[in-house]
Chains A and B, each alone.
Chain A
Amino acid sequence: MSSSTTDPTGQSYRVLQNRINTNIEILYKRYENILSLAPLTLERRDAEGRVIAHDKKDKTLAMAEAFQMETHASAMIRAAEDLLALTRSLKEAWIFGQIGGDEDVVKKIRAETDMDAAVVGEKLVEKVTKEVVGDF
């Protein structure tokens, strides 16, 4: 499985798609495996492949199969977590794709400030240049 800490925008779309498909496949396959290991009996086939008898499985075999089932289960969990990590890296890529936030918001604020500043400036100039007549 590819590492999820690097920026996935470096990888192509195809790689991401492959990753998703792989993970989904893992989920299916492993589940199948668990189910296939579940029965207590083993089928005995004859030369043509037809089922002739069911033999009980040995306890050691059962233990081994139990271990295998656990392994498959954890593989499924890992695949699901990888999908989650994939979504997270996609979100990160999206958020970094546009740097600096929306330009429109900033522009609007700037225009308003400019107008306010012009008005304030005029008023200030008026007030300040008011003549002081000698009053005595």
Chain B
Amino acid sequence: MPDPPPLSLSLRPWPINLNPDSSEQLPSLISRIQAQYGHFRGVSEASLEAEIASASDPTATTDSNTTPPPQLHPEPSSPPPSPPNTGFQSTLDSTSSANNVANPNEPTDAAKAKAEMLETLMSAHEDAMLMLDYLSLLVSQHQPEMGTATMSPALKQVVKPGTLGWDRVTRKIDPKAYTVDDKVTRSWKRAGLESAASALLDASKTLVTRIEKEQKYWEQVKAIRDEGWTVVRHPKEKNVLAVRYGFAESGDMFREKGIGALRMKDDGSVVMDDVGVTGIHGNALLRVRIMKNGETIGISVQKERRNGVPGSLRDQIERARNFIYDDELFFELCREARLLAHVGVRTEEGSVAIDLADQRCIIIDMQPLDTDLTDPSDLLSSLTPNDSETAQAILTTLRILLSYCHRASYHRRSQPPPPITPNKPKPPPLSLLRPIATHLFHQTSISNLRLILTKLSKSALAAGFPRAGLGFTISPYIHLAEKAKSPEFMKQENGVEKTIKLFSDALESVATVTLPGKVHCAIKIRTRLQPAWMGTKFSVTVTAGNSSDKDVVGEVDGESIKQQQHAEFWMIEGVGDYIQLCLERGIVREILTWKLGWRQEVEDGEIAKSIDGVARKVRVAVGRNGVSVTEGVTGGRDEIWVWGEDWGGDPEGRGLREVLERSRKKTAP
């Protein structure tokens, strides 16, 4: 079957068919035909045959008394819409089925129905006007002003007002007609009364049901309102109530979305409709996962706190509120993560990832609520409860922080507004990730430092130094005590805000290390992710106790270590190296106090003694393996002892002191 002729849309108005035989119509007709079927030049035998075939095809043709099948010789085709008085019913029946493939100029059913309706209305109108004229003519005899006012001008021209009279005529009443009339009268009356009665009864029934529905509806709405939710008018639809579950302090994006329409179901109970999609994620909640080496080792649980019966109105509202809360949270997280890219926070499509040391990373994304854990098989095996708890804690913290940020913006809004400037400042990203990242980085630094110090201490212990002179203590978060006493802090009355304020901003911890040789190191770790400097800073202060100022412990980079030395590092490795250096110096100092005759010449880590004219040197070095002592003669063979954290370098388990004394004895005459 050939394709139906394509729909051609012309912007020229239809020609007015005042003179159907006029030859003016011809040029426009020709141009229309050319637009629809192609130029005359394109006519070929094949195309003509195709036209004929499609014309004779019953599914493609329309009825004969409407538009004729498309022909190429110029013939006035009837302009649509066809005049309403030509055989309407038949055309309706025949063309309704063929309308899909018919000539698109054919009027549709709707147009035909409209024309028919107009026609009947016109005739009714004419009848009414005629009646009005007649009555007004009658009335004009008795009350000329009233009658002539309603008479039409045409009637007034033809017939003068007041010319029609009337009188009552008594005529013989036909008894049969009388009884028939009587019956008709009765039945009409009865029908009228019945219809009125039934209308009233039906109306009363529907009203009763409506009242019950309304009552139920309003009871529920009142119950919601009593719980504290705000009921407002729907912004777009009239006469529809809506409940506002969004948060007033959300950003611009989310404020309009927090409204749910309360619609009435058939029995009057309330159903909440989602007005405006709740964010791009739909029904999704935030999820935190901890991954190590690509495997998930901890995952947060999407446990919603349901206060009401699932499916009830309150439950719906709470669910919607949770969704929009997490939506906003994720949105703000993404915005903030862009700022922290240089600290190790990555943003990928749909997720935010924080890279921690030791191949761990934390991934935050949105998980649709309806689907359970996506890959249950490989997730369950690698999960550790500890990490899952951490993930859950992070999730809870994020939510608390968003709430705190809302409060902060509320306080900000309550202040008098700043002076108006032409450019409106964009609100800064909320600090949601920053406190968490600060805390995590800080913890990492502390644990790394702890490892380093433990290792060093163990090595020193293995080397025989007394435990009393070794040790370290880490006091985490010492800034809290100080901060809690600051006057600005005491002003806060709100318990929630107090707690959170403690842990935001910079975190500070202090580690004190005691090394042999009465060397004390105080390491101050400060982690801060605010614009001034972002990252972790280690400040190490070394004091060589019990030393007079003349005592120079050694040299570092050409500078003598005086009584108190101060250094700052940005990486934990630098701190580790520095502490190792301090340990070296400390050991050397200790050795010197043993008064075994060694003397320190001003070189790093080396002490020398001259015995029998042979200069023996002992070099103390602290490295990754532990404390290593190299003893030897210039030009001779060196002996090396290494004390690591778990093992002593000497097969006989001797400490450094014994080794040195033995060597002294060895060389003594």
Contact = CB atoms under 8 A, between A and B. Distances in A.
A62 B454 contact: no
B185 A129 contact: no
B494 interface: yes
| Interface residues on chain A, size class | 35 or more
A136 B458 contact: yes
Interface string A103-136: 0011001000111111011001100111111111
B32 interface: no
Given A59-B184, A129-B481, A73 B230 contact: no
A136 B203 CA distance: 90
Given A56-B182, A59-B184, A95-B225, A118 B495 contact: yes
A133 B473 contact: yes
A77 interface: yes
B228 interface: yes
Contacts of B221: 95
Interface in A30-82: 34, 37-38, 40, 56-59, 62-63, 65-67, 69-70, 72-74, 76-77, 80-81
Contacts of B241: 92, 95
B450 interface: yes
Contact of A65 (B182, B189, B226, B238): B189
B196 A99 contact: no
A40 B197 CA distance: 17
B446 A132 contact: yes
Contacts of A130: 476
B185 A125 contact: no
A84 interface: yes
Nearest to B460: A136
B569 interface: no
Contact of A129 (B232, B476, B496): B476
B192 A65 contact: yes
Given A102-B226, A117-B499, A125-B502, A95 B192 contact: no
A32 to B, nearest CB: 13
B230 to A, nearest CB: 6
A105 B191 CA distance: 60
Contacts of B222: 95
Interface stretch (B53-61, B207-215, B315-323, B607-615): B207-215
A80 B496 contact: no
Nearest to A115: B495
Nearest to B184: A59
B189 A62 contact: yes
A3 to B, nearest CB: 11
Interface in B95-139: none
Contacts of A132: 446, 450, 473-476
A131 B474 contact: yes
Contact of A131 (B210, B454, B473): B473
Contacts of B186: 40, 62
Interface in B470-526: 470-478, 480-481, 484, 494-496, 498-499, 502-503, 513
A92 B221 CA distance: 10
A101 B227 contact: yes
Given A40-B186, A70-B199, A80-B207, A128 B476 contact: yes
Interface string A12-34: 00000000000000000000001
A118 B499 contact: yes
Interface string B613-657: 000000000000000000000000000000001000000000000
Interface in B424-476: 446, 450, 453-454, 457-458, 461, 470-476
B111 to A, nearest CB: 32
A81 B204 CA distance: 10
Nearest to A74: B199
A133 B511 CA distance: 9
A69 B502 CA distance: 80
B221 to A, nearest CB: 7
Contacts of A38: 189, 193
Contacts of A5: 238-239
Contact of A117 (B218, B230, B495): B495
A129 B496 CA distance: 19
B601 interface: no
A58 B185 contact: yes
Which of B188, B195, B196 has the most chain A CB atoms inside 10 A of its CB? Answer: B196
B301 interface: no
A134 B498 contact: no
Contacts of A106: 228
Given A95-B222, A101-B226, A59 B181 contact: yes
B192 A129 contact: no
B515 to A, nearest CB: 11
B229 interface: yes
A134 B472 contact: yes
B476 A40 contact: no
Given A95-B231, A132-B473, A101 B225 contact: yes
Contacts of B225: 95, 101
Interface of B: 181-182, 184-186, 188-189, 191-193, 195-197, 199-200, 203-204, 207, 210-211, 214, 218, 221-222, 225-233, 238-239, 241, 446, 450, 453-454, 457-458, 461, 470-478, 480-481, 484, 494-496, 498-499, 502-503, 513, 645
13 contacts: A62-B189, A66-B188, A70-B196, A76-B200, A77-B199, A80-B204, A81-B207, A101-B227, A106-B228, A109-B228, A118-B498, A131-B476, A132-B473
Which 6 residue pairs are nearest across A and B when measured between Cβ atoms? Answer: A66-B192, A121-B499, A118-B495, A134-B472, A117-B496, A73-B196
Given A134-B457, A136-B645, 12 more contacts: A34-B196, A59-B188, A62-B186, A77-B203, A80-B204, A84-B214, A87-B214, A96-B233, A117-B495, A133-B474, A135-B454, A136-B457
Interface of A: 5, 34, 37-38, 40, 56-59, 62-63, 65-67, 69-70, 72-74, 76-77, 80-81, 84, 87-88, 91-92, 95-96, 99-102, 105-106, 109, 113-118, 120-121, 124-125, 128-136
